[in-house]
Amino acid sequence: MTTVAVNTYTHSIYYVADNILKSLKDVIRLSGLSPEKLVSSWQSNLRALKTWLESGHLDRVILEIFDPSTDKLVLRWDLDIQYGWTEGDGTFWTDTDQLRYHILKAGIAPHAASYRLLVQTKPNEPPVEGWSTQTCRSTNGMVKQSLGSTIQHSGLGANAGYWRKT
């Protein structure tokens, strides 16, 4: 029975990590930006997310959309990780309709905008090649809109939200 639980948990980790990246790709694309940068680093991103989900160190995945000429944040998307994994019926879903609605509500990014992917982890996370500590841009003057549970697999999941100007 333990083997089944381990395999199911491994599947949960892969499902959640992959759907976080797919959701962020939708955010980027529907915000009017090219997903090329995200897609070209997909394997590195997936490896990092899976490593930190498996170790329980991943707290948040952040997509910053910013103006490169001023280095100011234009929009920010957060996916807060929820560790409530249970052996169960293996329910899994990604609320793409909710996400799409809020991406369109947040609006199109300025033409010259750029983006980057960051993570927040708990202390002593396992190292992942190609990843280093970075500081998030300020959210001063912005307000967070929480969407609730967006990705779920047997209790392991992510709650989405985005920061917009007030």
Q: Which residue has the tokens 């997909």?
A: 42
Judge whether 154 and 90 are in contact, CB under 8 Å.
yes
CATH number for the domain that contains residue 154: 3.30.900.10
Q: Quick: pLDDT tens for 110-120.
A: 889 999 999 99
CA distance 69 to 145: 26
**This prediction's pTM:** 0.87
Residue 111 is given by DSSP the state: T
Residue 1 predicted with pLDDT over 80 = no
Provide the 10 A C-beta neighbour count for residue 59.
Answer: 15
Of the candidates 112, 117, 121, the residue with the CA atom closest to the CA atom of residue 77? 117
Backbone φ and ψ for 70, nearest 5 degrees, come out as -110, -15
Provide the 10 A C-beta neighbour count for residue 149.
Answer: 15
Residue 126 is given by DSSP the state: P
Residue 95 is given by DSSP the state: -
CA dihedral 114, 118, 156, 53 (to 10 degrees): 140
Lowest mean pLDDT among 46-55, 71-80, 101-110: 101-110
Q: What is the pLDDT of residue 59?
A: 97
Sign of the Cα pseudo-torsion (125, 17, 37, 100, in order): negative
Per-residue pLDDT band for 90 (boundaries 50, 70, 90) equals low
Q: Quick: pLDDT tens for 91-137.
A: 665 767 788 888 888 888 888 999 999 999 999 999 999 999 899 99
- Residue 87's domain comprises 2-165
Per-residue pLDDT band for 155 (boundaries 50, 70, 90) equals confident
Q: How many domains in the chain?
A: 1
| Average of per-residue pLDDT across 27-51 | 96
Of the candidates 160, 5, 147, the residue with the CA atom closest to the CA atom of residue 85? 5
CA distance 9 to 161: 25
Provide the 10 A C-beta neighbour count for residue 48.
Answer: 24
